[in-house]
């Protein structure tokens, strides 16, 4: 850096100012900027280190959060390549190799974009599993406690309610269609509509319900229902439109009549009224009445317009609702099943006041069915253990049920027999009682005429007396018979009552066993379904509890988006996205810096080498940051 003496025109020596730093301005500025960037990233990285290591043992493993180490390593390699190529671009520019420099710069741009593409892929894999930088839309719970369980329940209920509301809307809209078309003038269309409704009822009427109250249809039935309902919508809507002018006519007619009515009344009043106050009052009343009628007319018109708007809305929305109804049904059914077999199962374990360990394990098991990650070891073990014990429990319950059924059948036979005997005896009793009553009536009839005559000597008719005595004797005999029958009946009735009680108890026990068996089987099938990878030749499920997280309920049904339980998941997500996000922003800025000379077709010769040097310095800094980010985020 020798000083060159410059001689101006007059031969005087011009002094050169020497810079304090042997750098050009651009480079100085860039290094100043880089030092601020160092401070920026040191702050972010420093806090990340402190936060992460201040969370003893409670940091998600890469597997928990869909972090794939080798992809991060690939990104590191891509960035190193791009660092190398920008250095080569600088070198070529310094050696005045403009075209070669351009090629190197282009390669840097491409590798930088590749880095961003891989990063976008990584981000998308996290978003698709519900891991976001902010608490909402992320649904990550830090602890496996009842808040988590209720979070899952709430999400399920949201889906079920949405679907129920849509169903309600569908029903309401169909109802409105029928309501609107009431005023339509009759037409042949009505017969066609009636026929369609008949066909629909033929399928829907006899439909069976499942355990949750949802109807069960086959595929063909579903398609037919949708077809018929769509046809009904397109048939009923025009009829509803036909009704509108009719209604309008009716409203107009009513209005005219009312107005005429008012006028008549007013005319009468005016005739009778004296001039002055009374007339004025009559006029004022008439005006008010007219206004009231006008308002009523307006609101009637408004009602018609509202209904027209509703009808338009129905026409645009109802076909969609009809088309999706079974999709909704299936989703709601899935949610109900999960609620019963997973959420309530966990809640039961907690409510049953098992030890805290058991409670947490049950909740972790729920978390595992939703989002099976290997670090949820407790949950996995709980599920495995549960499956084993479920088999045993199912067997035991089946035995119990069989036992109760076995005891129940003979008892029922017995009770039937007893019932038969009881009925026979009771019939006998009734017949005897009837006979007795008849005889008693006869006796009473014979006794009567003797009492009706008063003040006369009772005539004693010997024939009558014999009859009476005979009747008395018969009645006595019948009484004895009744007593015998009664004495036979009493024990039978008692036995019957006792048997009834026994049967009741046995039936209750057997029903309880059946219900418990159903509940256990549902749970077992539910879990097996989630973790079955294949089936054997005999159809037995081959269960797989892998290290992979692409399983579980959230993966099986993408619409579910149930909350996850990742210890410190929210903290992890926010630090991860913050660090990599800011880094990615810097990468984008770097790419813009690279793209400018390429777009403007600048000749990258030695006069442009400064730009490339500064761009390179910036890019190397970005690479430096990533060199530290990669192990800290992916490997620690």
Partner 1 sequence: MADTQHEDHGSHGEDHSHEHGSTQLFIGVFIGLCILTALSFAAGSSSFVMSTPSIGWTIMITVSVCKALLVMLYFMHLKWEANWKYVLTIPATMMSLFLIFALVPDIGLRTLSYTAERWLYAPSPRVEAHDHASGDHDHADNGEHEDENADH
Indicate left, alpha or beta for 532 from its phi (over 0: left) and psi (-120 to 50: alpha).
Answer: beta
Closest CA to 557 of 369, 326, 379, 331: 331
Is residue 42 a contact point for partner 1 (CB under 8 A)? yes
> Across the strands, what pairs with 535?
541
Residue closer to partner 1 by CB (options 282, 633) is 633
Residue closer to partner 1 by CB (options 73, 238) is 73
Is residue 606 a contact point for partner 1 (CB under 8 A)? yes
The correct pick among 7, 9, 17, 463 for binding partner 1 (CB under 8 A) is 17
The correct pick among 418, 567, 575, 580 for binding partner 1 (CB under 8 A) is 567
Footprint (CB under 8 A) of partner 1, residues 113-142: 142
Is residue 26 a contact point for partner 1 (CB under 8 A)? yes
Residue closer to partner 1 by CB (options 329, 372) is 372
Question: Minimal distance in Å, beta carbon 619 to partner 1?
Answer: 9
Residue closer to partner 1 by CB (options 145, 532) is 145
Residue closer to partner 1 by CB (options 378, 580) is 378
CA dist., res. 241 & res. 237, Å (int): 6
Residue closer to partner 1 by CB (options 142, 500) is 142
Footprint (CB under 8 A) of partner 1, residues 338-357: 356-357
Question: What DSSP string runs through 152-195?
Answer: HHHHHHHHHHHHHHHHHHHHHHHHHHHHHGGGSPP-THHHHHHH
Pick the stretch among 241-249, 278-286, 451-459, 564-572 that binds partner 1 (CB under 8 A).
564-572
Q: Decide if 59 contacts 568 (C-beta within 8 A).
A: yes
Is residue 548 a contact point for partner 1 (CB under 8 A)? no
Pick the stretch among 304-312, 411-419, 451-459, 626-634 that binds partner 1 (CB under 8 A).
626-634
Residue closer to partner 1 by CB (options 50, 445) is 50
Element (H, E) at 91: helix 69-94
Question: Minimal distance in Å, beta carbon 396 to partner 1?
Answer: 30
Element (H, E) at 375: none
The correct pick among 160, 311, 338, 609 for binding partner 1 (CB under 8 A) is 609
Residue closer to partner 1 by CB (options 58, 351) is 58
Is residue 377 a contact point for partner 1 (CB under 8 A)? yes
Is residue 1 a contact point for partner 1 (CB under 8 A)? yes
Which tokens is 205 given? Answer: 């009427």
Which CA distances in Å does 100 have to 107, 192, 600? Answer: 11, 79, 16
Closest CA to 204 of 315, 329, 340, 320: 329
Residue closer to partner 1 by CB (options 466, 546) is 546
Footprint (CB under 8 A) of partner 1, residues 354-373: 356-357, 360
Residue closer to partner 1 by CB (options 48, 404) is 48
Question: Minimal distance in Å, beta carbon 570 to partner 1?
Answer: 9
> How many other C-beta atoms are found inside a 10 Å radius of the C-beta of residue 257?
10
Closest CA to 68 of 133, 126, 8: 126
The correct pick among 10, 29, 31, 391 for binding partner 1 (CB under 8 A) is 31
Q: Decide if 371 contacts 565 (C-beta within 8 A).
A: yes
Is residue 54 a contact point for partner 1 (CB under 8 A)? yes
The correct pick among 8, 10, 20, 599 for binding partner 1 (CB under 8 A) is 20
Pick the stretch among 52-60, 217-225, 307-315, 384-392 that binds partner 1 (CB under 8 A).
52-60
Question: What DSSP string runs through 497-557?
Answer: HHHHHHHHHHHHHHHHHHHHHHHHHHHHHHHHHHHEEEE-TT--EEE---S-SS-HHHHH-
Footprint (CB under 8 A) of partner 1, residues 61-120: 61, 69-70, 73, 76-77, 80-81, 83-84, 86-88, 91, 94-95
Residue closer to partner 1 by CB (options 86, 485) is 86
The correct pick among 199, 375, 522, 574 for binding partner 1 (CB under 8 A) is 375
Q: Decide if 555 contacts 66 (C-beta within 8 A).
A: no
Is residue 13 a contact point for partner 1 (CB under 8 A)? no
CA dist., res. 173 & res. 321, Å (int): 10
Is residue 573 a contact point for partner 1 (CB under 8 A)? no
- Residue with the two structure tokens 């379904």: 529
Residue closer to partner 1 by CB (options 94, 283) is 94
Is residue 59 a contact point for partner 1 (CB under 8 A)? yes
Closest CA to 28 of 571, 602, 617, 465: 617
CA dist., res. 310 & res. 555, Å (int): 39
Pick the stretch among 16-24, 269-277, 508-516, 590-598 that binds partner 1 (CB under 8 A).
16-24
SS3 83: helix
Which tokens is 225 given? Answer: 């229902």
Pick the stretch among 28-36, 247-255, 444-452, 586-594 that binds partner 1 (CB under 8 A).
28-36
Is residue 624 a contact point for partner 1 (CB under 8 A)? yes
Residue closer to partner 1 by CB (options 142, 330) is 142
Residue closer to partner 1 by CB (options 141, 404) is 141
Footprint (CB under 8 A) of partner 1, residues 388-407: none
Q: Decide if 604 contacts 103 (C-beta within 8 A).
A: no
24: Cβ contacts below 8 Å, ≥ 6 apart: 610
The correct pick among 29, 55, 508, 596 for binding partner 1 (CB under 8 A) is 55
Question: Minimal distance in Å, beta carbon 94 to partner 1?
Answer: 4
CA dist., res. 382 & res. 159, Å (int): 28
Is residue 38 a contact point for partner 1 (CB under 8 A)? yes
Q: Is the dihedral of CA 516, 522, 528, 530 positive or negative?
A: negative
8-state DSSP, 7: E
Q: Decide if 510 contacts 518 (C-beta within 8 A).
A: no
SS3 559: coil
Q: How many residues of this chain interact with partner 1, rule: CB under 8 A?
A: 78
């Amino acid at each position: 850096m020798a000083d060159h003496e410059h001689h101006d025109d007059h031969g005087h020596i011009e002094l050169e100012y020497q810079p304090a730093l042997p750098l050009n301005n651009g480079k100085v500025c860039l290094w100043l900027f880089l030092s601020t960037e160092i401070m920026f990233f040191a702050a972010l990285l420093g806090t990340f280190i402190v936060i992460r290591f201040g969370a003893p043992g409670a940091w998600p493993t890469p597997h928990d959060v869909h972090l794939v180490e080798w992809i991060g390593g690939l990104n590191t390699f891509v960035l190193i390549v791009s660092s190398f190529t920008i250095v080569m671009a600088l070198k070529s520019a310094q050696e005045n190799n403009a075209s070669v420099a351009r090629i190197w710069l282009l390669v840097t741009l491409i590798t930088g974009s590749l880095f961003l593409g891989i990063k976008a892929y990584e981000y998308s894999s996290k978003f698709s599993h519900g891991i976001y930088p902010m608490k909402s839309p992320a649904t990550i719970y830090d602890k496996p406690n009842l808040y988590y369980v209720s979070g899952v329940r709430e999400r399920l209920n949201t889906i079920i309610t949405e679907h129920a509301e849509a169903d309600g809307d569908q029903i309401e809209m169909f109802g409105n269609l029928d309501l609107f078309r009431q005023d339509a003038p009759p037409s042949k269309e009505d017969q066609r509509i009636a026929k369609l409704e008949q066909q629909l009822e033929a399928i829907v009427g006899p439909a069976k319900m499942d355990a949750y109250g949802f109807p069960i249809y086959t595929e063909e039935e579903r398609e037919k229902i949708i077809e018929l309902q769509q046809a009904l919508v397109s048939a009923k809507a025009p009829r509803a439109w036909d009704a509108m002018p009719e209604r309008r006519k009716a409203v107009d007619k009513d209005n005219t009549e009312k107005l005429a009515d008012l006028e008549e009344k007013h005319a009468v009043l005016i005739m009778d009224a004296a001039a002055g106050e009374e007339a004025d009052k009559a006029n004022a009343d008439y005006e008010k009445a007219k206004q009231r009628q006008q308002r009523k007319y307006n609101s009637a018109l408004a009602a018609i317009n509202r209904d027209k708007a509703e009808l338009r809305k129905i026409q645009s929305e109802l076909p969609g609702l009809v088309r999706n109804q079974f999709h909704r049904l299936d989703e709601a059914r899935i949610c109900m099943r999960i609620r019963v077999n997973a959420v309530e199962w966990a809640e039961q374990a907690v409510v049953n006041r098992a030890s805290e360990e058991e409670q947490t394990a049950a909740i972790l098991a729920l978390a595992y069915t939703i989002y099976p990650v290997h670090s949820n070891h407790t949950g996995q073990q709980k599920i495995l253990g549960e499956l084993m014990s479920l088999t045993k429990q199912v067997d035991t319950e089946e035995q119990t049920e069989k036992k109760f059924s076995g005891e129940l059948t003979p008892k029922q036979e017995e009770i039937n027999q007893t019932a038969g005997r009881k009925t026979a005896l009771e019939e006998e009793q009734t017949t005897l009682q009837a006979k007795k009553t008849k005889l008693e009536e006869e006796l009473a009839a014979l006794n009567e005429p003797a009492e009706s005559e008063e003040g006369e000597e009772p005539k004693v008719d010997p024939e009558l007396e014999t009859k009476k005595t005979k009747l008395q004797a018969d009645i006595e005999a019948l009484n004895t018979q009744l007593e015998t029958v009664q004495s036979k009946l009493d024990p039978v009735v008692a036995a019957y009552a006792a048997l009834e009680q026994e049967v009741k108890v046995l039936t209750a026990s057997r029903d309880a066993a059946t219900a418990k068996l159903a509940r256990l089987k549902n749970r077992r099938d539910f879990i097996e379904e989630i973790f079955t990878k294949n089936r054997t030749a005999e159809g037995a499920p081959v269960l797989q509890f892998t290290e992979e997280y692409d399983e579980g309920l959230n993966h099986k049904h993408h619409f579910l988006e149930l909350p996850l339980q990742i210890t410190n998941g929210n903290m992890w997500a926010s630090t991860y996205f913050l660090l990599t996000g800011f880094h990615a922003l810097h990468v984008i800025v770097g790419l813009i810096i690279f793209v400018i000379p390429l777009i403007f077709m600048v000749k990258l010769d030695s006069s442009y080498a400064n730009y490339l040097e500064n761009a390179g310095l910036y890019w190397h800094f970005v690479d430096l940051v990533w060199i530290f980010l990669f192990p800290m985020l992916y490997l620690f």
